[in-house]
Every structure is written in C-alpha cells, then in structure tokens.
Amino acid sequence: MSLSKKSTIIVENLRKKQMMESISTGKRLDERSLDETRPFEIELDVIKKANGSAWVKLGKTEVVAGVKVETGEPFEGLENSGALIITAEVLPIASPHIEPGPPDEETIELARVVDRGVRQSEMLELSKLVLVPGKIVYTIFVDCSIINVDGNLLDATSYAVVAALTSCKLPVFEIKDDKVVDTGRTQEPPVTTIPVSVTTVKIGDYLLLDPNIEEEACMDARLTITTNSKGSIVAMQKGLKGYFTVDEVKSIADKAISKGEEIRAKLKELIHHGKKE
C-alpha cells in the first residue's frame, strides 16, 4: 500500500503558523506538551486464528498485528537461528490518501525499522527455535495491518509487534520419521527483553514526541530510537531531509531512554492485564 500521497495532506499556512505559535509556548495544538506521548490501548488475542495478536491504538492511529508460526529453512548465514519476519501494510481503509498498490519506500522503511528494533534488541532468543540445525527452524511471521493513520506509525506498529510476540503461544513442533509434526501443545515464546521505540520529530527548532498526522506534515526531520529493558539503545533511524545537531541527538536519546522506560512499564502492564483476561 502506498503512502506516497501522504504529501497531499496539506496543512494550510495559517494552521502551520498557529501550530508554530502554539509550540513556541510549549503547548501543541492537541493540548499536549512537547514531550507528551498520546495514551495508548492494547487489546490482545483479537485474532483467534493467529498464534498471537494485538490491536493497538495510539491516539487515533490503529494497528493490528498477528503472529503466525510455521517451519522452514533457516536464513543463509543464520543456520542455527529461527527465522523472524516482520511485515507491515498500510491498508487503504486507513486514510483517504492511500491507494491500493505495492508498498512504497515509506511503508518499506516502516516495516524495516520496526523489524530492526525487535531484531537488534534480540527480543526473541532465536537460537532456541531450531528443530534440525541448518535444515529446519521455526519461522515466525509478524504481519501488521495499519487500519487508521494518525501519525507515528513507527511506534504504534512497534508496540503492536511487541505485544503480539510477548503474548503469543508458539506451537511445539517435533521431528518424527524425518517429518515435522505439530504436537498440538504450545510453549511460551523465548522473550528476553521488551524493546520500545520512541520517535521524535523536529519542527523548526522544536523537538516533539509522538507526532500526529498534522505535525508529521510539518516536520523537518524524524529520529526513531529503540531501547531494550536495560535502557540501552539498540536501534536508530533518522528520516527526512532535515537535520539534527549533536546536542539535539543527545537530548533525544536521553528522552528516548527515560520515556522508553515509562512506556515499557505501561506496555508490560497492559500485556499482563490483557493476558489475564
């Protein structure tokens, strides 16, 4: 699905002026302070046919992630690891500016940045997901469908992936007579850490967390930072043609770590709560 027409979201000059005036007083047009993220909700297990799933609402941005587990050959060079594949699609139901078609560069970037955060954090201990070393491994697909667009797809999609993976039940496969059989039993996924992605955007000289769609239409640059449970940075991605100064990057990283901790606690609480129900 193509997001390329997102540029057609025009923020009138007057509105932009209003936004800048508001930001300069430390308040955004939706009443948030500059480093305030929107509240989010997670509903787990919405897709019974998936091994795990999550419906995440970050403000008005909504993402459904589903985990599907199969077996297959390992990736080249990673013969002794399970395969993890994360995809994202911005569905045409999600906004009037999206048309059906193959994914454009923005959507591909989205899936890859979310994938990078999860992969680099080593959230799943993939070495535990091998059946026959070098031949047969668990293949875990996490497919994300973005169903309503209101900015910051990167973080919303990342939370959906993390929630779906953390709460999923992996089938137990065994090898019998050289064939893979599904035993019908399930196991907990080997989760080692909870990666949290925090996206900051720059509008003029101001840094804002968790942009909505109107703010994204005005942003000059974007920086997404993913941290793990230890509070270390595991992945970063700068986007758009604007720039950041070294000081800006430092303050964004500090914020991503402290804010990431807050969000991680909230994520854990929501996942724990959702699992119980």
Partner 1 sequence: MVQNRSLIDESGKRSDGRIIDELREVKINVGIIKNADGSALIEFGKNKIIAAVYGPREVHPKHMALSDRCVVRCRYHMSPFSTDTRKSPAPSRRETEISKVIREALEPALILEDYPRAAIDIFIEVLQADGGSRCAGITAASVALADAGINMRDMVSACAAGKVDDKIVIDINDTEDKEGGADMPVAYMPNLKKITLLQLDGELNSNEFNTCLKEAIRGCLKVFEIQRSSLIEKYFGDEKGLNE
- Which among 29-37, 84-92, 235-243, 260-268 is the span making contact with partner 1, rule CB under 8 A? 84-92
Token couple for 262 = 């807050």
Q: Which of 2, 95, 158, 167 binds partner 1 (CB under 8 A)?
A: 95
The residue among 54 and 252 lying less far from partner 1, judged by its C-beta, is 54
Alpha-carbon gap, residue 85 to 82, rounded angstroms: 10
Least distance between partner 1 and beta carbon 50 (Å): 4
Ranges within 38-77 binding partner 1 (CB under 8 A): 46-50, 53, 60, 64, 66-68, 70
Q: Are 164 and 66 contacting, i.e. CB atoms less than 8 angstroms apart?
A: yes
Q: Which of 7, 30, 79, 96 binds partner 1 (CB under 8 A)?
A: 96
- The upper half-sphere exposure of residue 35, i.e. CA atoms within 13 Å in the direction of its Cβ, equals 12
Helix orientation angle between 105-120 and 153-167, rounded to the nearest 10 degrees: 40
Q: Is 157 in the site for partner 1 (CB under 8 A)?
A: no
CA 244 to each of CA 17, 207, 257: distance values in angstroms, whole numbers, following the listed order? 22, 10, 18
Q: Which of 10, 12, 39, 100 binds partner 1 (CB under 8 A)?
A: 100
Least distance between partner 1 and beta carbon 214 (Å): 13
Q: Is 176 in the site for partner 1 (CB under 8 A)?
A: no
The residue among 1 and 271 lying less far from partner 1, judged by its C-beta, is 1
Q: Is 221 in the site for partner 1 (CB under 8 A)?
A: no
- Which among 10-18, 139-147, 186-194, 227-235 is the span making contact with partner 1, rule CB under 8 A? 139-147
Least distance between partner 1 and beta carbon 96 (Å): 5
Q: Is 2 in the site for partner 1 (CB under 8 A)?
A: no
Positions touching partner 1 (CB under 8 A) are: 46-50, 53, 60, 64, 66-68, 70, 87, 89, 91-96, 99-100, 141, 143, 145, 147-150
